[in-house]
Amino acid sequence: MNEVNLKISNPSKHINKVNPGQLNLSVGEKQKLAKATQEFESLLTGMMLKSMTKSSGMFGSEGYGGDVLDTVFESEMASYISKSKSFGIAESLFRKMTGEELSEYRMHSIKPAAAFKPEANEVKINTSAHERIKKFDPIIDEASKKYGINSGVIKSIIMAESAGNQNALSKAKAKGLMQLMDGTAKDMGVKNVWDPVENINGGTKYFSKMLRLYDGDIRLALAAYNAGPKNVEKYNGIPPFDETKHYVSRVMNYIENLED
């Protein structure tokens, strides 16, 4: 293979040819795209560094191990520069193709619910509530595919939040199956919070956002869903609120015991 000498004066030149938000992707597909754009930037950066080290002879061609040091330097620097967002190529690509910011998807890997064990004694599943939730299976399955969240997780949140009552209204004015506050519902694009389709999609979208925010840590995502991300950040973990600690343990137990 012939060696490629790379010179780039305007790395955004070709990126601008992509139509903004032209790809209609699921959360899982966006996560894969996020990883691909970062790997592309790292590869591009590596080629640029290789060209630089060849021109400068940084480690010398005659010294023992110079070629090895060149390779290590190029690899490490490419990875460092890409992760530190110095060039912004990955960010530009991702934003152009999805219309969203890469920071929400940056190298996150959502951990499967089965990898987590409940922290408290097993919580018994309410049979009546379970039967009510089953009626919403088609909606839950669709939201699961759309936002990349296991259907058992969605059902478990609904079980803990409303026990499958689509007309549930809390003292804090949280509404519907996934107990959405008005502000959260609005942010998630929910127009009719009492509509099961909109409520489940809005709640699942919000939970997927929390899961990405905490690098796939399902316990922290649940804590944020219950107490808000500001409290999770304030206490650097699950807030020391009895309600929130009980909520996280209860949902984790439901995940272990509810069928997908």
Q: Give the residue numbers marked as catalytic.
A: 161
- Tokens 């601008």 sit at which residue? 16
Dist. CA 144–CA 138, nearest whole Å:
10
**DSSP 8-class letter at 164:** T
Name residues whose C-beta falls within 8 Å of residue 23's C-beta, 6 or more positions apart in sequence.
33, 97, 98
Q: Using the 8-state DSSP alphabet, how is residue 138 labeled?
A: H
With a CB cutoff of 8 Å and minimum separation 6, the contacts of 214 are 220, 221, 224, 232
| Strand partners for 169 | 175
d(CA 111, CA 18): 32
Q: Spell out the alpha helix ranges (H) of 214-241.
A: 218-227, 229-235
